[in-house]
Amino acid sequence: MLQHSLLLIYRNFKRFKTTFFINLVGLSVGLAGALTIYLWVHDEWSFDRYHATTGRLFQVLENQRTAEGIDTKYGTAPLLAEALAEEMPEIEYAAVATPTNFFPGFTLVAQEKNVRANAIYASKDFFRIFSYNLLEGDPGQVLASHAAVVLSQEMAAALFGTAANAVGKTLEWQMVDLKQTVLVTGVFGPIPANSTERFDCVLSFEAFKGIMKMGRSMNWADDGPFGTFVVLREGAKESEFRAKIGGLLQRKLSTNKERALLVQPYANKYLFGEYTNGVPSGGRIEYVKLFSAIAVFILAIACINFMNLATAKASRRLKEIGIKKTLGASRFSLVAHFLAESVLMSFLALLIALVLVELLLPQFNAITGKQLALAFQPHLVAAALGLALLTGLLAGSYPAFYLSGLPPVAVLKGRLVGSLADLWTRKGLVVFQFMLSVLFIVCVWVIQRQIAFVQSKDLGYDRRGVVAFEAAGKAAQQPEAFLAELKRLPGVVNATGFWGAFVNTYDGPGGPMEWQGRESTVHHLGVTYDMLETLGITLKEGRSFSPQFRSDSFQIIVNEALVASFGMKNPVGQVLGGQRIVGVAKDFHHQSLHEKVRPFIFRLEPKAVGTVLVRLAPGREQETIGRLRQFYAAFNPGYTLTHRFLDEDYQAQYASERRVGVLAQYFAALAILVSCLGLFGLTAFTAEKRRKEIGIRKVLGASELSIVYLLSSDLTKLVGAAILLALPVSYVVVKQWLDGFEYRIGLEYWYFLGAGLVALAVAWLTIGTQAWKASRTNPTLCLRDE
C-alpha cells in the first residue's frame, strides 16, 4: 500500500513538473530561512545559561531616582556583596567584580614578555558562582589571596608556554603608573562563545580594595560601578529575597531615599537588559521576537504558495479524485494521500534547505558576528524534522480537505466546484503575502536612511583621522613626556590622553551631582591637555585647560547640557562639586544617537592616561602610523603598538542596526521572491479556471492584450489592497523602531509610496508573464473537451 501511494505521488510530481519545481523552491527557501533564524535565535537564547547555578544566580542592580526619572544601573557599591553574604541567610555565595571594560591599558609581564590583557578584579567566590572551566586550581581558593591571579588558557600559554607551567609562577601586572607582582593560582579554559563577559585574567578584589584605599567599612552612600552577583540557596524563595533587598540601602542610611536595590536573573541580562524608568523594557529580546516572527511569516508564505498552486492544478486532477471516490475511496484516505504528498514534498525541500543553510551560514555569520554551525545536535534535528512535518501538514491541509470534499458526480464532469469563501481565502492569502513584502521594503529603506543619518550627523567633534591606542609601560608611567615627544612627530597634528572610554554605549563613569538645590546625573572624564583641541570640540565660552594655569587640576570644563540641566546663567566661574568651571564646551555625542546629550564634565588629570588619541595630518595617515609604531617601540622597549581609529569605536555603537539593515534586505528579497511564487500560483489558478472562457474570447476575436488585462486586473486590485493595508502597519513598525533613537530621521511619504510602487512593479511582472502565456494558448486546446 505504501509503495503504491509513493508511486502515485511520484507520478503526480512527474506530471506537474512546473508546479513541483515551484513548490520545491518555495518550501526550500522558506525552510532554509526558518532554520537559519532558528539557529540564530537558539544561540541568542543560550547566552549566559550554561552556568551550573542558572536559576539561582542573580545580579543586583540599583534604581536611582533623578530629576529625569528612575535610572537603573548595573553598577553597585564595591562592598555590597560582602554585606549581603553576611546579613542574608538565603544567599549561598556572593561576589563582586569590576566591569570588563573598566581597565584600559592593562599589561601582564612575565619572563621578559609583555602581553596586553583584558583584566577584571573579583572576590573569592567568583569561580563558585560562574561555571568558567577551571583547568588548574580550586574554584573556592584561586582568589583567596590578595596576590592571586587566574589566567585564561590562551594567556597562560602566551606567558609561560602551557597552562600547567603557569600555576605557581609569578608575573607583574602594570596599569598606568600602578604595578604589582602576583602569583598564578589557576587557569581557566576558553570562555564559551555564548557568554556576555569576556576577559583574559581575574585578580583578587582584596588587592583592588587596597589599591583604591576602600577599607573594610561599608560606605552605604557609595554607588560605584561594580557588579554584585549572588547565588541563592536551594529552596530559598526568590520573592522573599527580592522583598528583603529592595529597601536595604534605605535601612542602612536614611539619606538613601532615592536609591533602591533590585535583582535580575543573570541569564536575563543579555536579552532583557534594558530598563525604562526603573521597569524592565526589553533589550535584545526585541530582535529575537522580530526575527522569530520573520521566520514564521516566511514559512507561512511558502505554505500559502503551496496551497494556491495545489488548488490551481486541482481541475487537472478532478477525474482522478472522482474515479477514486466512485471506486470507494474514503475522504480520509484521500486526505491522507494529499497530506502524504505535501509532507514528502516538505521533506524533499528540507534536504535542499539544509544544503542552502550550509552554504549561506558563512555569510550569515559574517553579517551577525556569530559562529553558528549546522551541527546535527538533538535540538537542531528535532527542530528541522518538526518544521518540515509541520510545514508539510500545514501546506497540504487546505488542498487536501478542499479536493477530497468535491462531489464525485461533479468532478467526473470536469467541473471545479468552489465556493466564494474558497476564492476569498486564496485572495486573502496573496494580500497577506504582499503586505509583508511592502513592510520589509519600507523597513529596509528606513533603516538605511537612519544609518546614513548616523554617519552624516554633526557629532560636535571630528572623529575622522584620529587614532586611538592603549598606553602601556613607560607611556603609561611617564605620560607627559610621552605625549610631548609624540606631538613632535611629523604628521601628528595633536595628541592627548585620558582615562576611560570617550565613545561608549554604556553609562560610563558618573553619578548624581547637586547645584543650588538641583540634582542631575553627570558623566565625567579625566583628560590631559589638548583633549578638546585634538577632537575638535568647540568651546562656547571660557577657556580650555592650559599648562600656564597651575590651578587647572582643580578646575573643570562642562558641556551645554550640564549648564541647561542646572539652569546656570553664568556658568564660567561657578563652583560645582568643589571645582570651578573654567569653560563651557558645545554639546557633543560621546554616546550613541540612541541617547540624548547628557551633562558632562572634563577633569584635568595629566598623569592618568589609559588611552591616547592622536590626530593625523590628512593624506599622511599611513606614513604617520608607521612613525608612531617606531616611536612607540623605541619609547617602550618590548611593547608593540596596537591601534584603532576612533571612527571604529563610533561605528561599533551601531553594529546591531547595520546587521538588522542587511538582514532586512535579505528577508525582503526572500519575501518578495516567495510572494511572487504565490502570485504566480493564483494567476495560474485563475487562468486554469477561466481556460474555456479564454478560448471562446479568442475565437470571437479578443486580442492577447485584452486577455492579459482580463487576467491581471483583478490580481492587480489585490496587490493594490495589500499595499494600502501595509502602509499604516509599516508606518507603525518603523516609527516604533526609530523611537529608539533620540536623534532620528523624519518619516517621508516617499518611503511608503516607493515601497508600494516596487511591490506593484514586481507583481505586474509576475502576473504579466503568466497572463501572457495563458493568452497565447491555442483556443482549440481550450475547447476540445466540448
Is residue 735 located within the same domain as residue 770?
Answer: yes
- pLDDT at residue 333 tops 80: no
- pLDDT at residue 97 tops 60: yes
467 in a structural domain: no
Strand partners, 558: 584, 601
Instruction: Look up residue 525 and give its amino acid.
Output: L
* Confidence (pLDDT) at 188: 92
Ranked by mean pLDDT, the top range of 104-113, 186-195, 654-663 is: 186-195
User: What is the domain extent for residue 442?
Assistant: 430-458+639-786
d(CA 427, CA 421): 10
Which of 224-233, 361-370, 422-431 is least confident? 422-431
* Confidence (pLDDT) at 129: 93
* Confidence (pLDDT) at 64: 80
Is residue 520 located within the same domain as residue 373?
Answer: no
Is residue 230 located within the same domain as residue 110?
Answer: yes
Beta strands in 741-784 (DSSP E): none
- pLDDT at residue 690 tops 70: no
* Confidence (pLDDT) at 540: 92
- pLDDT at residue 414 tops 70: no
- pLDDT at residue 585 tops 90: yes
Is residue 514 located within the same domain as residue 599?
Answer: yes
Run of H or E residues at 771: helix 749-775
* Confidence (pLDDT) at 774: 65
- pLDDT range class, residue 185, cuts 50, 70, 90: very high
Q: Is 517 left (phi over 0), alpha (psi -120 to 50) or beta?
A: left
Helix, strand, coil fractions of the chain, as percent rounded to 5: 50, 20, 30
230 in a structural domain: yes
Is residue 17 located within the same domain as residue 72?
Answer: no
C-alpha cell at 251: 535601612
d(CA 446, CA 455): 14
Is residue 481 located within the same domain as residue 623?
Answer: yes
14 in a structural domain: yes
Question: Do 748 and 442 contact (CB within 8 A), yes or no?
Answer: no
Ranked by mean pLDDT, the top range of 70-74, 157-161, 340-344 is: 157-161
463 in a structural domain: no
- pLDDT range class, residue 57, cuts 50, 70, 90: very high
* Confidence (pLDDT) at 322: 65
d(CA 90, CA 637): 52
Q: How many domains does the chain have?
A: 4
Report the SS3 class of residue 257. Answer: coil
Share of the chain above pLDDT 70, in %: 82
- pLDDT at residue 275 tops 70: yes
322 in a structural domain: yes
* Position with higher pLDDT, 693 vs 1: 693
d(CA 568, CA 499): 28
Is residue 449 located within the same domain as residue 553?
Answer: no
* Confidence (pLDDT) at 324: 67
- pLDDT at residue 593 tops 60: yes
d(CA 702, CA 717): 22
Is residue 678 located within the same domain as residue 776?
Answer: yes
Question: Do 86 and 230 contact (CB within 8 A), yes or no?
Answer: no
Residues whose CB falls within 8 Å of the CB of residue 630, separated by 6 or more in sequence, listed in order: none
pLDDT average, residue stretch 38-56: 90
d(CA 465, CA 618): 7
What are the pLDDT digits (tens) for 599-654?
999 998 888 788 889 999 988 888 898 889 988 888 888 788 888 888 888 877 77
Residue of 534, 497, 507 whose CA lies nearest to 599? 507
d(CA 778, CA 2): 40
256 in a structural domain: yes
pLDDT average, residue stretch 270-278: 82
Burial of 519 (0-12, 13-18, 19+ CB in 10 A): middle
Is residue 661 located within the same domain as residue 742?
Answer: yes
* Confidence (pLDDT) at 316: 58
pLDDT average, residue stretch 331-343: 73
* Position with higher pLDDT, 340 vs 193: 193
C-alpha cell at 87: 546579613
Question: Do 273 and 284 contact (CB within 8 A), yes or no?
Answer: yes
Buried b (16+ CB within 10 A) or exposed e, 606-624: bbbbbbbbbbbeeeeeeeb
326 in a structural domain: yes
423 in a structural domain: no
- Cβ count near 401 (within 10 Å): 14
d(CA 141, CA 127): 9
- Cell match 592571586: residue? 148
Residue of 665, 681, 690, 667 whose CA lies nearest to 429? 681
Give the chain's mean pLDDT: 80
* Confidence (pLDDT) at 293: 82
Last residue of a domain, one of 594, 613, 630: 630
* Confidence (pLDDT) at 1: 44
Last residue of a domain, one of 600, 630, 660: 630
- pLDDT at residue 313 tops 70: no
pLDDT average, residue stretch 583-588: 92
Strand partners, 468: 613, 644
Is residue 386 located within the same domain as residue 289?
Answer: yes
- pLDDT at residue 13 tops 60: no
Is residue 96 located within the same domain as residue 184?
Answer: yes
pLDDT average, residue stretch 201-228: 76
* Confidence (pLDDT) at 506: 45
Residues whose CB falls within 8 Å of the CB of residue 526, separated by 6 or more in sequence, listed in order: 498, 499, 500, 603, 604, 605, 608
Q: How far is the CA of 610 from the CAs of 157, 435, 499, 509, 766, in angstroms?
A: 26, 52, 5, 14, 60
pLDDT average, residue stretch 231-259: 81
What are the pLDDT digits (tens) for 227-244?
999 999 988 888 888 888
pLDDT average, residue stretch 208-220: 66
What is the sign of the dihedral through the CA atoms of 673, 677, 679 and 683? positive
Is residue 670 located within the same domain as residue 585?
Answer: no
- pLDDT range class, residue 295, cuts 50, 70, 90: confident
Last residue of a domain, one of 609, 630, 651: 630
* Confidence (pLDDT) at 51: 92
- pLDDT at residue 437 tops 50: yes
Which of 11-20, 52-61, 99-108, 581-590 is least confident? 11-20
- pLDDT at residue 306 tops 80: no
- What is the pairing mode between strands 91-97 and 227-232? antiparallel
Question: Do 286 and 44 contact (CB within 8 A), yes or no?
Answer: no
Run of H or E residues at 438: helix 420-456
Rg for the chain, CA atoms, rounded: 34
Question: Do 207 and 146 contact (CB within 8 A), yes or no?
Answer: yes
C-alpha cell at 721: 489592497
- pLDDT at residue 68 tops 90: no
pLDDT average, residue stretch 655-678: 76
- pLDDT range class, residue 764, cuts 50, 70, 90: confident
